[in-house]
Every structure is written in C-alpha cells, then in structure tokens.
Structure 1
Amino acid sequence: MPIPIIIDTDPGIDDAAAISFALHHPQLDVQLISTVHGNVSIDKTTRNAQQLIEHFHSNVPVASGASEPLIQKAVHAPHVHGESGMAGYQFETPTTSLVSQNSVETMKEMLLQSHTPMTLVPIGPLTNIALLLKTYPEVRAHIQQIVLMGGSAGAGNVTPAAEFNIYADPEAAHIVFHSGLPIVMTGLDIARASNLPYALLPEIKAMNQTGNMLYHLFQHYRGESFLEGLNVYDAYTIMYLCYPELFTARPAEVHVELSGTHARGATFVDFNVTESPTQVLMDIQAKDFQAAFLEMLQYCP
C-alpha cells in the first residue's frame, strides 16, 4: 500500500523536485499540498504549488496556509530561489481553484476522516503544522509520523547557527519538536553528506520532461555549497520515505533556540539519549543518493 502523505511546502526550487518525485513515486500517495510562507511570500508559494500540480495534470488539491510566522515577521529567500520562487522555467498560469478552506482546517478534516494514519511532510517553515497540533490536538492519533526538512546538528545556512526553515518560525519549530510525535529530521547534515554534482545535470535534463524542468530550475538555484554541487534539501524527505535503508538515523532530542542575539532559530541536537520519538538523519552515501535521485526521476513523466 502506498504511504498517504500531506506535503506542507513553500516552493522553492528544491521543493519543486520533492513534489515532482512525490507525485509520481508508486510508494507514495499525495493527498494534499498545503502551502506556507517561506522561500517567498504565501501568494507566490501557493501559485508555485498550483503551477506544479497543473504542470503534471495532477488532481491533488492545493490549500493555502499561514502567510506569516506565529510571532516574528516573515523572512524570505528570493536570493536563493529567484523572485518568483521557481525562477528558470516558464510554467503556465494556473487555472484550477484552491481548496476553499485554510490548509490547517483542510489538514484537520483529512486526518480525522482518514482510515489510516497519515505522514506529514513539512518542507518549509513549520507554522501550519504547529497551528494544526495546537488548535486540533485530536489529530495527533491520526498522524503516523512527521518527516520534515529543517534544522542542523552543526552550523546553519541562513545564520552561522540556524537553518532557514527553523529560523523562519522558531516558535512553530519548538512546538513541533516538543509534540511527542514520531519525527524524522532531515536537516542540513544529510545534504552536506552528499550533493547533486553538476556532471549529472545533462543526464537529468535528457531523462524526461521533468528532468528538463528541474535542469532549468537548478540553473537559478543558489543553495549552500553551490560551487561543489547542488544541495536539493527537500528531496531528501521524499527519498527517505521511499528508500529509508539508505540513511543512517540517530535518536536525538532537538531543542530550538527561541532567543539569543546570534543563535535564534538554531537547533541543538542532543544525541546523548537512548530513546526518543525524534530521529535525525546524519548520513547517506553520495553514490546512493545520486542513484536514488535518478531512480525517483525515472518514475516522472
């Protein structure tokens, strides 16, 4: 049986790769795309999600969520993803309607109506997920696990201490990491252990239409370690769900710094535990990552 998932996202070029793979991999059943502020503003992330869904002629619903963090002002990253969030490829103007309800309400209803627990895959700031858990605690029993992209056991990428998705809403991240739910943290560490070398891009471009789209998006992507290769952060969440055996996961407690002049948004990862509902992905062989990336792409049109 495919794993039923809800993707909460702020597309984003690496989000586009993750969504492309999730929509087409036979082991996954995407039930909803929920959008959040992050890489760009909510109107742009929502439009980008609609464009991806329509590009693939998919009928997965898109619902718009939080436009701002719980407390602080919104921060965006157009210098990484372009002003539109998905610079480099000409998508059609979306014509399908959004779900009429806010995405938090939509997730609540989907979870409560589902016959099997669902996996949440947040690959942007965690505002929507925190609101869902705090507003509707009854959904907890219907969540199999949360596989998120965010955080770091080492240095950050938006500040020396903080990774972008956590920095964009530290209070929301604190709520999620202290929820007691099973969490898999796919942070900067796993991307730093492997990347997508530039030598592979021509092969990706030639593979299929999705590869061609990603090739053009990647030309405009300015992620960390840009000179060495591409860190397609969000794709690791989907890869973990499909190929968990490729990863080394370690139990840990994750604490989010909510104050501090220099450390706000940092994740302090404590591996000195024997049991924890949170697992942190720490390693994947570069050749395994590249092979799995190409295999996921083969399922796409």
Structure 2
Amino acid sequence: MTGRLTVIDCDPGTDDALALWLALGSPELDVRLVTVAGGNVGLELTLANARAVVGLAGLPVPVVGGADRPLLGRYVSETRVHAANGIGGITLPEGPPAAPGVASDAIRDLLRRAGPGEATLIGLGPATNLALVFATEPALADRVREIILMTGAWGEGNITPGAEFNAASDPEALAMLLAAGLPVSLVTLDLTAQAFVTPERLAALRARGEGRCLGAACDILAAVPTSRRFGFAGFPLHDPCAVALAVRPELLAVREVAARVECGEGPGRGRTHLDRWDRWDRWDRWGAPANVRLAETLDADGFFALLGERLAALP
C-alpha cells in the first residue's frame, strides 16, 4: 500500500507528539516533511521536540523550523498543559539535526514537485507556516488534496472563553487559509473532547506493548494534567484526531459549513464562528457559502484502538 504524500506542520506539544507518532506509524500516509512553529512552547523547544519524536520513530523524515511568532500580535505559550519543555517534562533522546531552510520554503518546494491534488497538509499548531505558503505562492493550491487543521471551536474556547489556542495564536493566518478557496477540514475542540483520555484508556494503551515510542507516548499522556473543564476526570487528546481524519476518515462524521475567525483585538480575538445550521444566509447580506468540512462526531473507541495499534507498530 502506497501512502499519500503528507506534510505535518506542528508545535510539539504533548498531543502533537502523539499525533506525529500516529502519522509516522500509519501506512496510509507517506510523511515526507515535518515543519515546526512556535506554539505550545517556543520554537527552539518545539523544533527540538519534533526532532526527538521523529528520531525515536527511526524514520528519515526531514524536520524544518519555521515561524517563531504569529503574523501579527504577540506570541503566547501554553506551559500549564504542556510543561516547560512542551512534552510534559518527559525527556526524549535528542533527534537528528533539523534540516536546513525555512518551513514555508520547504513546503512550497515539496508542493512544486507534487502532482495536482496529491498533497495532504495536516496543521496541528498555529497556522502561520501554512498561511505563508499560500500567501506567497497561491498557484500551489492546486497541488493540495486536503488541509486538515486542528483548530477552533463552535462552543467555548480553551485559551480564552471564546477561542481555541491554535486559532488564538494566529487568527490572521487562519483567516488567510479560510479565505483562500483551499479544501480545508477543521477538527475543533468540540470534536477532540470526544477523544477523552481516562486512566482506563491510558492503561489499555500501555498494555499494547513495550516499544520505545509507545512507552514514551504513554509517559507523556501520564504527565498531562487532568482538565478542570471536564471535572478532572481526564483530558481531551486534540491533535491525533486531525491525523485520524486523514488515516481513518470513517471514524469521524463531517459536514460542510461556513467558517470565519475573529481577528480584531479584544475578548473575541481568535474565536471561530462555524455556521452549522445555515443561519448566516438569513442575516448576512453577502451570504456565507460553505468553505470548510467540519468534523462533528468521533467514534472514540475506534480512535483509541487505531492509536494503540499504530503506536504499537513503531519501534
């Protein structure tokens, strides 16, 4: 089986680490490039973490650093969840050196060599690197099969009352991608809340085997604090859900909706407005045609079975 050409853009990040291992362990994807932005922690750490995750998997996938800040506004980290080093305080062996260059240039170069509709781009952090690709060379849009973003929410946020962390980190970049006519799919907080890590699910993952990637993944999960939003019963596992949409799309139910993101200053900055019920047609004189595929529900048991299977297949 030949996997489809894939780029993972990330900001590891505890959940990014598991998402990377899920992607690298899935034959449905041919991961050719991992690009990195500052996000959950600063770029120096996210780049080191991505290198370590790829290195632990033992695969020769180039890792390239990119944006260390948003297009506008200020950079804010999230160490309360991800710890000071970004991966729950867990120490991984240092990975191979970063590949030379800049993330957006590396993605453009790969897309230029791809065929029409060949590439899948999976964005797990702020959308800065991906936005820079298409802002500077919009003709590359025809090489894209799908862009899957873990971002946004139709309900409440997780970094502010209204905004999800990735969307709030660079709303202008996200707005650029939403306006570019690209085939975008969104995996939001409302979906990832269904991928809920409990002590029982973590124990089931540990029982899958003794590989180094599986063990590191379980150690990282064990270090993530339980969520106050969910009564401290566990926590959502965000980024692997975006990879699951690419690998096993039947696990997620999707529909086409219209999406916008707030880019102004104030408490609404970064909030995503997702029209799931065609309400903008009644109130917006310009109309609001569907511009994204929105993942709404997840087969959680199937998702954790997939995660365990693929992590156990890695070294």
Aligned counterpart, 2:62: 61
Deviation, 1:201, is 1.3
SS in 2 for 1:283: strand
Aligned counterpart, 2:248: 243
Aligned counterpart, 1:197: 198
Deviation, 1:58, is 1.2
Please say if 1:113 is aligned against 2:120.
no
Please give the alpha-carbon distance, in whole angstroms, between the structure 2 residues aligned to 1:243 and 1:226: 30
Please give the alpha-carbon distance, in whole angstroms, between the structure 1 residues aligned to 2:140 and 2:164: 28
Aligned counterpart, 1:222: 225
> Does the 8 Å CA contact 2:55/2:94 hold for their aligned counterparts?
no
Distance 1:5 1:105, change over 3 A: same
Aligned counterpart, 2:264: 259
Please give the alpha-carbon distance, in whole angstroms, between the structure 2 residues aligned to 1:174 and 1:37: 18
- TM-score, structure 1 normalization: 0.95
In structure 1, the gaps of 5 or more residues are none
> Does the 8 Å CA contact 1:196/1:290 hold for their aligned counterparts?
no
Aligned counterpart, 1:33: 34
In structure 2, the gaps of 5 or more residues are 279-287
My pick for the range that moved more, 286-295 or 118-127, is 286-295
Please give the alpha-carbon distance, in whole angstroms, between the structure 2 residues aligned to 1:5 and 1:291: 22
Deviation, 1:203, is 2.4
Aligned counterpart, 2:290: 276
My pick for the range that moved more, 7-16 or 199-208, is 199-208
Deviations 1:120-147 (A, max 9, x none): 1010000011111101112111111101
> Does the 8 Å CA contact 1:40/1:84 hold for their aligned counterparts?
yes
Equivalent of residue 303 in structure 2, options 267, 289, 292: 289
Letter in 1 for 2:35: S
Aligned counterpart, 2:282: none
Equivalent of residue 212 in structure 1, options 211, 215, 218: 215
Please give the alpha-carbon distance, in whole angstroms, between the structure 1 residues aligned to 2:55 and 2:266: 43
Please give the alpha-carbon distance, in whole angstroms, between the structure 1 residues aligned to 2:195 and 2:220: 20
Aligned pair count? 300
SS in 2 for 1:107: helix
Q: 1:18-167 maps to which residues of 2 (within 5 A)?
A: 18-94=19-95, 96-115=96-115, 117-167=118-168
> Does the 8 Å CA contact 2:193/2:237 hold for their aligned counterparts?
no
Please give the alpha-carbon distance, in whole angstroms, between the structure 1 residues aligned to 2:294 and 2:231: 24
Structure 1 runs of 4+ aligned residues shifted over 6 Å read none
Letter in 2 for 1:34: T
Deviation, 1:295, is 2.8
Distance 1:98 1:286, change over 3 A: closer
Deviations 1:72-125 (A, max 9, x none): 11011011111011134321233x332211011111011001235201101000
